[in-house]
């Protein structure tokens, strides 16, 4: 079965600085998707960024980018120019042939 | 991407009672999913609901406790039955999205359930 590990329960960053959230996963599948979701206190799960495994190019969405290392099974999220609105729980998720599998999440605090 | 309306957004219920949570999608979707998120925890899949067939439950979840309906391609309900304080959680529905799994799963806004 696939597993997703987020080793940082909590992270903090100063406003306007850059922070990287870590995620590793384990799978025997060759074709899959990886996602980062943001969950603010409102509880809404918001898709931040997605990556398809066969694409070597790292995905980028405005201030959010990933470092996808397929061989290492690593999928980290970099947030540049952090804003107060970025404060939330961030979940890494794996989507393959079966169900979506989530990591335990990283709570990001943004300090003004 | 689809928009999912979930209600109620929160409820406080007496133990032993049942609560039905509804999710309405603004487009037709094949698969819908129900998750439980216990306090401070990640999301755990309860079941997958396809229109016209019985829901498929994950290990540790049973139909008698969490009956699911999927009457059409835009609607689903999850009932939490015979509730106990251990059922206090956030419950979320999601869909795979009409464009396919790669484009991400859309989630409802969640139902915060407190059982007293």
What mean pLDDT value characterizes chain B?
Answer: 91
Distance from CA of A99 to the nearest CA of B (A): 8
Chain A partners within 8 Å of B43 (Cβ):
45, 91, 102
Q: CB-based contacts of A24: which residues, under 8 Å, 6+ apart?
A: A4, A5, A7, A72, A73, A74, A75
Domain boundaries, chain A: 3-111
Q: Which domains does chain B have, with CATH numbers?
A: 8-115 (2.60.40.10)
Taking one residue from A and the other from B, the number of pairs with CB-CB distance under 8 angstroms is 45
Q: What is the pLDDT of residues B83-106, one digit of tens each?
A: 999 999 999 999 976 566 566 788
Question: Do B83 and B103 touch, CB atoms closer than 8 A?
Answer: no
Reported as a single tens digit per residue, the pLDDT across A37-49 is 999 988 889 999 9
pLDDT at A82 over 80: yes
B55 to chain A, closest Cα gap in Å: 14
Residues from chain B that touch A40, judged by Cβ atoms under 8 A, are none
Q: Show the tokens assigned to A98.
A: 């079966």
pLDDT over 90 at A9, yes or no: yes
Token readout for B50 is 């396809």
- How would you class A66 by CB atoms within 10 Å of its CB: exposed for 0-12, middle for 13-18, buried for 19 or more? buried
pLDDT at A98 over 80: no
Fold of A3-111: Immunoglobulin-like (2.60.40)
As a whole number of angstroms, the distance between CA A78 and CA A56 comes to 17
């Amino acid at each position: 079965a696939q597993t997703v590990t987020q080793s940082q329960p909590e992270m903090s960053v100063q406003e306007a600085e850059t922070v990287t959230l870590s995620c590793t996963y384990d799978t025997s599948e060759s074709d899959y998707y990886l996602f980062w979701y943001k969950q603010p206190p409102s509880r809404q799960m918001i898709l931040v960024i997605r990556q398809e495994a066969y694409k070597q190019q790292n995905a980028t969405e405005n201030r959010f980018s990933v470092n996808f290392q397929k061989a290492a099974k690593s999928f980290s999220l970099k947030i540049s120019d952090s804003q107060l609105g970025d404060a939330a729980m961030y979940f890494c998720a794996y989507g393959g042939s079966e169900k979506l599998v989530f990591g335990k999440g990283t709570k990001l605090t943004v300090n003004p | 991407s689809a928009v999912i309306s979930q209600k109620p957004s929160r409820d406080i219920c007496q133990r032993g009672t049942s609560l039905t949570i509804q999710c309405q999608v603004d487009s037709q979707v094949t698969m819908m999913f129900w998750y439980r998120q216990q306090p401070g925890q990640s999301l755990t899949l309860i079941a997958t609901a396809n229109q016209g067939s019985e829901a498929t439950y994950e290990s540790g979840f049973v139909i008698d406790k969490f009956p699911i309906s999927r009457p059409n391609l835009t609607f689903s309900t999850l009932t939490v039955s015979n509730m106990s304080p251990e059922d206090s959680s956030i419950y979320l529905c999601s869909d795979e999205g009409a464009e396919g799994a790669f484009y991400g799963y859309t989630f409802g806004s969640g139902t915060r359930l407190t059982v007293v």
